[in-house]
């Protein structure tokens, strides 16, 4: 291994041994690879059915006491975690890069998001989960309190592309809400989850509350669902459907964050000095292995030639490479399978008439799974990448004549995860946003503005799922609602002399009278 690709001391064998002890697993070893070189990174024990049973039992036993703890004390764990993430950012970036192959700068965006989220959740958890007094059926005579109780054991199944963000970030809301976690990270990115768990334990989380299990998704995934009270899943739409079906058998709730085919609209009045670098970041961050990634650009004819020329030129200059330093703009794809899929999509589109304006080929000299950021145009509707998610550094540019045409093309997808609009006219951009069937819309930004706004809940539309990430909803979604209504003085039905017609008249008068009260 050459210098930049050599494993840093944070991933020394003794350190990896220590991390591995966080796995609830006694089964056969499973290997992971270092995408920078394609060589083995480490071996991890997998989880047997007995391991899964024991992990679920430990988590449930710990959850009982955790749920009884005052929410302020639980939330304090989140507040302490932010500082630990910032302090240990070097080790976190090393492990994220080692498992995903992404460039260091792209790995850092994961830390930023989780660091923002820990603080937000730490601050809002107590008030969000506090019991609320609500108006009752009969003013004064019905007293209503609504309580939020944790669901118990939350199953978390997370993917490899943003392992810290989608593992630790999503798990944290469930934990602070008073639940325990049975977590199956993607087989390639277990170490990132283990390091995240180690940090949150250091921040004060009782260790048994977060159990990490390992093994092939098709076996361990269903086993996690079968032992959980609710499931948070992020991954492909195809697997999401299987997860939803499995969860439905036991009638447990699911939160599904699935695939996308995200469009960007460049209006004629867009500031191209900002739109060009913004589009490059939106298309090629984490080598396009980002669920929010833009794979379709619809640009107004008036600026199409200028935008396309500048966008392709900046893309041409991107430096692709592998290593733990800051020397590269774009890192590696994570696996040989990803590389094959990206290459297939481009080869298929070109064979059907698409033109390559930049990239369009693997770069084995940069790393075994590296692929040049690729700009296509004239992609026919028969090409696979026209509708299917590529999940790689490939974008298709299509000139359009009007906003209406841009909206029609952007909306012509079964997915609805993220969309981006560039325009100098805020009102026109907001009006366009209202017409797009997407859970997130970024105006004059590609994806980070909405994703980084952790106060706002996000989730996909259509085949992109419909989860509850970020915002207070992330906490509320992993709780059960319990409404306790206490009736005092008079009963809710007919009473005393108020029976039949006189009861109906009384209640009609009461309904009219309570209109003077706020919110009634």
Identify whether the C-beta of residue 241 lies closer than 8 Å to the C-beta of residue 275: no
Catalytic, 257? Answer yes
Q: In this structure, what token pair is assigned to residue 122? A: 């730490």
CB of 154 to ligand NAP, least distance (A): 15
Catalytic, 283? Answer no
Cβ closest to ligand NAP, residue 244 vs residue 428: 244
Q: Which residues partner with 257 through β-bridges? A: 234, 465
| CA distances to 295, 478, 496 from 363, in Å | 20, 44, 85
Rounded CA gap, 258 and 30, in Å? 26
Cβ atoms within 10 A of the Cβ of 317, count?
A: 9
**Residue 132 backbone phi and psi in degrees, to 5:** -120, 140
| CA distances to 9, 49, 101, 265, 443 from 279, in Å | 36, 46, 22, 10, 12
Q: Which residues partner with 38 through β-bridges? A: none
Q: Which residues partner with 254 through β-bridges? A: 231
H or E element, residue 501: helix 500-513
Identify whether the C-beta of residue 389 lies closer than 8 Å to the C-beta of residue 233: no
CB of 98 to ligand NAP, least distance (A): 17
Considering 257, 295, 389, 473, which one is annotated as catalytic?
A: 257
Identify whether the C-beta of residue 244 lies closer than 8 Å to the C-beta of residue 259: no
Give the position of tokens 């970020």. Answer: 470
Cβ closest to ligand NAP, residue 140 vs residue 251: 251
| Interface residues toward ligand NAP, by CB under 6 A | 157-162, 166, 184, 186-187, 216-218, 221-222, 234-236, 239, 242-243, 257-260, 291, 389, 391, 417, 460, 464-465
Identify whether the C-beta of residue 372 lies closer than 8 Å to the C-beta of residue 358: yes
Beta strand residue intervals within 202-358, DSSP E = 210-212, 230-234, 253-257, 262-266, 294-300, 355-358
**Residue 91 backbone phi and psi in degrees, to 5:** -65, -40
Beta strand residue intervals within 29-87, DSSP E = 29-34, 39-45
CB of 260 to ligand NAP, least distance (A): 5
Rounded CA gap, 74 and 203, in Å? 10
Cβ closest to ligand NAP, residue 37 vs residue 46: 46
Q: In this structure, what token pair is assigned to residue 349? A: 């589109």
Q: Which residues partner with 397 through β-bridges? A: 297, 377
CB of 192 to ligand NAP, least distance (A): 12
Dihedral through CA 374, CA 340, CA 447, CA 267, nearest 10? 40
Cβ closest to ligand NAP, residue 362 vs residue 465: 465
CB of 234 to ligand NAP, least distance (A): 5
Cβ closest to ligand NAP, residue 222 vs residue 277: 222
Cβ closest to ligand NAP, residue 300 vs residue 440: 440
CB of 215 to ligand NAP, least distance (A): 7
CB of 116 to ligand NAP, least distance (A): 16
CB of 157 to ligand NAP, least distance (A): 5
Cβ closest to ligand NAP, residue 109 vs residue 158: 158
The vertex-507 CA angle with 506 and 512, nearest 5°, equals: 100
Considering 283, 291, 370, 385, which one is annotated as catalytic?
A: 291
| CA distances to 26, 267, 270, 358, 436 from 426, in Å | 57, 11, 11, 31, 16
| Sign of the dihedral defined by the CA atoms of residues 443, 449, 451, 455, in that order | negative
CB of 166 to ligand NAP, least distance (A): 6
Cβ closest to ligand NAP, residue 86 vs residue 238: 238
Cβ closest to ligand NAP, residue 324 vs residue 371: 371
The vertex-78 CA angle with 469 and 204, nearest 5°, equals: 135
Rounded CA gap, 85 and 92, in Å? 8
Cβ closest to ligand NAP, residue 257 vs residue 329: 257
CB of 479 to ligand NAP, least distance (A): 21
Among the listed residues 383, 346, 377, 376, the one whose alpha carbon sits nearest the alpha carbon of residue 361: 346
**Residue positions annotated with a catalytic role:** 257, 291
């Amino acid at each position: 291994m050459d210098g930049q690709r050599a494993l840093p001391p944070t991933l020394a064998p003794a350190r990896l041994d220590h991390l591995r002890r966080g796995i609830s697993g006694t089964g056969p070893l499973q290997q992971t690879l270092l995408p920078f070189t394609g060589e083995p990174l480490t071996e991890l024990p997998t989880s047997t059915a007995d391991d899964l049973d024991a992990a679920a039992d430990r988590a449930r036993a710990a959850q009982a006491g955790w749920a009884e703890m005052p929410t302020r004390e639980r939330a304090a764990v989140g507040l302490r975690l932010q500082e630990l993430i910032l302090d240990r950012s070097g080790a976190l970036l090393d492990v994220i890069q080692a498992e995903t192959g992404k460039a260091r700068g792209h790995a850092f965006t994961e830390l930023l998001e989780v660091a923002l989220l820990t603080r937000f959740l730490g601050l809002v958890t107590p008030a969000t989960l506090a019991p609320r007094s609500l108006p009752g059926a009969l003013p004064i005579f019905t007293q209503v309190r609504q309580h939020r109780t944790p669901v118990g054991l939350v199953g978390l199944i997370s993917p490899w592309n943003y392992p810290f963000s989608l593992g630790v970030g999503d798990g944290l809301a469930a934990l602070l809400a008073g639940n325990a976690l049975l977590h199956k990270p993607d087989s390639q990115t277990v170490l990132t989850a283990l390091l995240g768990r180690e940090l949150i334990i250091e921040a004060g989380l009782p260790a048994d509350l977060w159990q990490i299990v390992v093994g092939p998704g098709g076996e361990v995934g269903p086993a996690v669902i079968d032992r959980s009270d609710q499931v948070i899943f992020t991954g492909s739409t195809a697997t999401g459907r299987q997860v939803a079906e499995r969860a439905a058998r036991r009638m447990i709730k699911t939160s599904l964050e699935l695939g996308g085919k995200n469009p960007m609209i460049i209006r004629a009045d867009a500031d191209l000095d900002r739109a060009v670098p913004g589009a490059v970041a939106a298309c090629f961050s984490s080598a396009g292995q980002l669920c929010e990634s833009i794979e379709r650009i619809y640009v107004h004819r008036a600026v199409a030639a200028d935008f396309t020329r500048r966008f392709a030129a900046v893309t041409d200059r991107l430096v692709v490479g592998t290593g733990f330093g800051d020397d590269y703009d774009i890192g590696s794809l994570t696996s040989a399978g990803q590389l094959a899929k990206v290459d297939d999509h481009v080869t298929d589109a070109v064979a059907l008439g698409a033109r390559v304006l930049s990239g369009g080929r693997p770069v084995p000299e940069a790393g075994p799974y590296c692929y040049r950021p690729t700009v296509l145009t004239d992609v026919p509707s028969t090409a696979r990448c026209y509708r299917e998610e590529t999940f790689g550094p490939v974008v298709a540019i299509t000139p359009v004549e009007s906003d209406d045409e841009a909206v029609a093309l952007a909306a012509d997808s079964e997915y609805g995860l993220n969309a981006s609009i560039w325009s100098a006219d805020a009102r026109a951009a907001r009006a366009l946003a209202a017409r797009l069937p997407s859970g997130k819309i970024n105006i004059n930004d590609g994806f980070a503005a909405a994703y980084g706004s952790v106060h706002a809940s996000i989730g996909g539309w259509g085949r992109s799922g419909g989860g509850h990430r970020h915002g207070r909803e992330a906490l509320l979604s992993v709780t059960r609602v319990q409404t306790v209504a206490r009736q005092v003085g008079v009963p809710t039905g007919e009473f005393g002399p108020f029976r039949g017609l006189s009861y109906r008249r009384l209640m009609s008068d009461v309904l009219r009278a309570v209109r003077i009260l706020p919110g009634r």
